[in-house]
Amino acid sequence: MQTKEIKSMVQNSYAEIAKNNNASGCCTGKACCGSTSSESMQVDYSLVEGYHPEADLALGCGIPTEVAAIEPGDTVIDLGAGAGNDVFVARRIVGENGHVIGVDMTPEMVVRALQNNQKLGYRNVEFLLNDIEDMTGIADGRADVVISNCVMNLVPNKERAFREVYRVLKSGGHFSISDVVTKGKLPEALITSAELYAGCVAGASELGSYLGILKSIGFKNIAVRRERRIDLPEGVLDQHLDATDKADFLSSGTGIYSVTVYAEKRDGGDCCESTENTCCGVRKPNDSKEGNGCCS
C-alpha cells in the first residue's frame, strides 16, 4: 500500500476507536484481532501512578514511562498520544513545573484527549494534531524525553519519524518507546494484511532493522529495556495461513514481540556497546532495581 493509503486506513480505524466509549484493544472489533490477541498485546496500568482509566483505550503494548527516566520539571512529548493515557502518567511525574505534549494525527483522538484533560484540569498539558513524520510546530530541541506506545509500528516511514524524534529532543535528551517488532521474517500473508496492519502487527519492523535505523540517525546508548513475546491466536493464523505455512511459521522461531527501546541524543560515543538489557543511560530508569542506567 502507498503511504497515504496506510495513513488513511490507520486514521479511520483509530477514529472509530476514539468515538467508541468502550476500550477496543488494538483493533476495532474486526476479525484481524480477536479478544485473545488484543489481550496479549495489552498491559495493566491499574497500579501506575497518574493513571486515568477514561484515557485508556487499551491501545498500548507496553508502559514506556516505566523506564523513561522522566524527572520533575521535564518537557515530555508523547507520540501517538491517543486519548491521553501515557500523557497523564507522564504529567504525574513531571509535576506542576514540567510540561507534557501529546501528538496524534487522528482528529477524533485529539478531541477525546482534550476532553479528558478538561476534566482533569491540567494546565501544563497540551494535545496537538500533527503527523509524527513531520511535527510542524514543535521546535528543535523542545523535549527532554520523548515517549510513545505501540505507534511507530503503524508509521510507514519509520526513519523519517525517528529523525523527527531526534530533532525535537534536546542535546542530552532521550526517548523510551514501546513498540511491536518481529524477530525473523513474518509470512507475507501476515505482513500484507490491511486488517493486521491497522490492528498492530503487520507494520512491525524486524528488531535488528529497527535498532539499525536508530543507530544510523545518530542515537547513542540504544538499549532494549523490555521484551515480551506476543502469541497470535490460532484463529488469526488460520485466517491468513494455510496448514503448511502455519506449521512452518510455528516451527521457525520467528515471532512478534513487544519491546521498550531506550536511546539518547548525545555527543560522543556510547557508554556501552550492547543493545541488550545492559547498563546504558545518562539517567537511571524509574525501576532501577534491574540495574539499567548505571553509566550515570
> What tens digit of pLDDT does each residue of 16-67 get?
888 875 444 444 434 333 333 345 567 899 999 999 999 999 888 899 999 9
Q: Residue 295 domain-assigned?
A: no
In this structure, what CATH number is given to the domain that contains residue 30? Answer: 3.40.50.150
Q: Residue 117 domain-assigned?
A: yes
Q: Three-state secondary structure along 40-77?
A: HHCCCCCCCCCCCHHHCCCCCCCCHHHHCCCCCCCEEE
pLDDT digits (tens, 9 = 90+) for 139-192: 999 999 999 999 998 898 999 999 999 999 999 999 999 998 988 877 777 766
pLDDT digits (tens, 9 = 90+) for 194-227: 345 445 565 788 999 999 999 999 999 999 999 9
Which residues form the domain of 116? 3-290
C-alpha cell at 232: 497470535
What is the domain count for the chain? 1
Q: Residue 111 domain-assigned?
A: yes
* pLDDT at residue 13, rounded to an integer: 81
pLDDT digits (tens, 9 = 90+) for 164-174: 999 999 999 99
Q: How many CB atoms lie within 10 A of CB 251?
A: 8
**For 237, left (φ over 0), alpha (ψ -120 to 50), or beta?**
alpha
Q: Residue 296 domain-assigned?
A: no
Q: How many CB atoms lie within 10 A of CB 98?
A: 21
Q: Residue 133 domain-assigned?
A: yes
Q: Residue 259 domain-assigned?
A: yes
Work out the angle between the directed axes of helices 3-19 and 107-120 (0-180°, nearest 10).
40
Residue 287 one-letter amino acid: D
Q: Residue 281 domain-assigned?
A: yes
Torsion of CA 99, 101, 56, 33, to 10 degrees: -150
Q: Residue 55 domain-assigned?
A: yes
C-alpha cell at 212: 539499525
pLDDT at 138 over 90: yes
